[in-house]
């Protein structure tokens, strides 16, 4: 049996759906999902986490929010405040959990991927060099927002 290769649009749809599914399962807060949009480089990031993907898709997942959002999620998950170095470590681990969940979801869609270790972005980072970028805003109570960027190199 020959498996047909998926088109880039089908892969993007699967990556988007898997990301939203994983974010909903990982972050214990009720989200409101915005509409996806295409963005152009560069991507400016003040605080966030980047995880690379290799395999059938090549690119990066960037989760961008202010440090208060990551602190709120950390406290809701662990029942205690997450600050300082622990906050940066938690941001990286949250990115790792979401990227790992996405890789698992994609495997169910016959898309083979592997993820890199998380890189915490802090300060004024400008990311470029990607071919396609999908953006979706996820809102939570108290005006908390998580910006999800899928940077694809295909």
Taking only the tens place, the pLDDT of each residue in 6-23 is: 888 888 899 999 999 999
- Residue-averaged pLDDT of the chain: 92
CA separation for the pair 29, 108 (Å, rounded): 25
The answer as to whether 132 is a domain residue is: yes
Instruction: Assess contact for 7 and 109: CB atoms under 8 A.
Output: no
The whole-angstrom separation of Cα 145 and Cα 117 is 24
Distances (CA, A) of 154 to 2, 69, 114, 150, 151: 23, 31, 16, 12, 9
Domain enclosing residue 98, as ranges:
8-152
Peptide bond preceding 37: is omega within 30 degrees of 0, i.e. cis?
no
116 domain-assigned = yes
pLDDT given for residue 4 in this prediction: 54
pLDDT in tens, 48-83: 999 999 998 899 999 999 999 999 999 999 999 999
The 8-class DSSP code of residue 52 comes to E
The tally of domains found in the chain comes to 1
Within a domain: 3? no
The enclosing domain of 83 has a CATH number of 3.40.1550.10
* Average pLDDT of the segment spanning 135-151: 94
Q: What is the pLDDT of residues 100-119, one digit of tens each?
A: 999 999 999 999 999 999 99
Confidence (pLDDT) at 8? 80
């Amino acid at each position: 049996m020959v498996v047909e290769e998926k088109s880039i649009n089908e892969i993007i749809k699967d990556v988007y759906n898997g990301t939203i599914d994983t974010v909903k399962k990982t972050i214990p807060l009720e989200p409101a999902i915005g509409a996806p949009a295409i963005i152009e480089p560069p991507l400016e990031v003040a605080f966030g986490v980047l995880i690379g993907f290799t395999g059938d898709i090549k690119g990066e997942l960037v989760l961008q929010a202010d440090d208060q959002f990551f602190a709120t999620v950390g406290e809701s998950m662990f029942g205690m405040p997450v600050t300082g170095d622990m906050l940066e470590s938690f941001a990286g681990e949250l990115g790792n959990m979401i990227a790992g969940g996405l890789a698992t979801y994609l495997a169910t869609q016959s898309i083979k991927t592997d993820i890199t270790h998380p890189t915490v972005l802090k300060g004024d980072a400008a990311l470029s060099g990607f071919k396609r970028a999908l953006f979706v805003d996820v809102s939570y109570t108290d005006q908390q927002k998580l910006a999800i960027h899928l940077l694809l190199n295909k």
